Amino acid sequence: MKTKKILFMLIMVCVSFFLVAAIGIGVLFEMHTFHALVSGRIVDKEGNPVPGAIVRLYIGGSDGSSRDFESVTDESGKYSVQTPMLRYALDSSAAYRAMSISADGYVPLSAKEGIIKGTNVNRDYEMVKAVSVSGRLVTVEGEPVAGSTLTFIADGEVDRSPKLRYGPVTVRSGKDGSFSLNTVGPFEYSIYIGEHGQKLHRQRPLNAKNANLADAANRQGLEIHINNPLDYTISGHVHDSDGKPVADAFVWTLNENSGTWGAYSDKEGAFSIIGLDGLGKDVFDVSVKGKTSQGESFNMKIPGVRLHTDSLSFIVQ
């Protein structure tokens, strides 16, 4: 009798264990899923509907997976985007969820409001009609600067809405330095030479830190002057202690006003930091980091390097 009682207790413990495990797995599975319905209306600043606007919902899983879902607004400006049940290998609370909106003739925007699991209603947004801008990118001597990327970034005053933001707009200059774009708004913009967020070779124009495009007079014939990048350089070589060139070493300098400027050494160990806009500064601390041919990491700095130096030498020990 005692043996039967012990056996019965063991069976009950096993059953309880499996029940708890099953419940735990169910809860865990629920934590690893995501689905959403996002709906609302897109209008212009006067409250008129914007038909044909593309509303794109981007769901990026914490496991590296990502999905896009789209909806197009109807004649009344209404949209509705619904995702299926998405499953992730990791906790979906770490997933990235973003919504962007674009329409012909309007400034593209993205929503600041978070997309939560389940129903997201009354996500209404106002779009701003875009304006056209054209001009030339030239050096201070008036020479055209071809093939450079101009990045227009809406100033924070415009971008302070709690519901939406206007992203950076880029355009490349042509052979004669000319550029034109029609996706900016009647806002004040900061202008940089280089991709948004890319600090290598980025340069702030001398006369166009800010361009007020709310004034129609500033939208056509906008001439932006920059220093000739090739006139503002620090160059040299990176070698090891045996005199052998070190390739793919990152050489850079940090300026408190204009950010990081840098370049990678080539197979001969040569590097050239070009377009170095020190905003009046002509002495820099130059650093280098990378790995030797033996795979050993290095990081060193040479202080007090003058602008236009063309024979800076790093000897990696």
Write out pLDDT tens, residues 186-235.
Answer: 999 988 887 655 544 456 677 766 889 999 999 999 999 887 767 788 99
Q: Where are the beta strands (DSSP E) in 166-282?
A: 169-172, 178-184, 188-193, 210-212, 222-226, 234-240, 250-255, 259-264, 270-273
pLDDT in tens, 99-158: 999 999 999 999 988 888 889 999 999 999 999 999 999 988 888 989 888 989 888 666
Classify domain 131-226 at the CATH class level: mainly beta
Instruction: Please report the sign of the dihedral spanned by the C-alpha atoms of residue 132, residue 40, residue 117, residue 114.
Output: positive
CA 118 centroid distance within chain: 28
- CATH 2.60.40.1120 maps onto the chain at 131-226
**CA–CA dist 223, 221 (Å, integer):** 6
CATH architecture of 232-316: Sandwich (2.60)
Supply the CATH classification number for the domain 33-127.
2.60.130.10
DSSP type of residue 94: G
- CATH 2.60.40.10 maps onto the chain at 232-316
- Please state the φ and ψ torsions of residue 271, each to the nearest 5 degrees: -140, 160
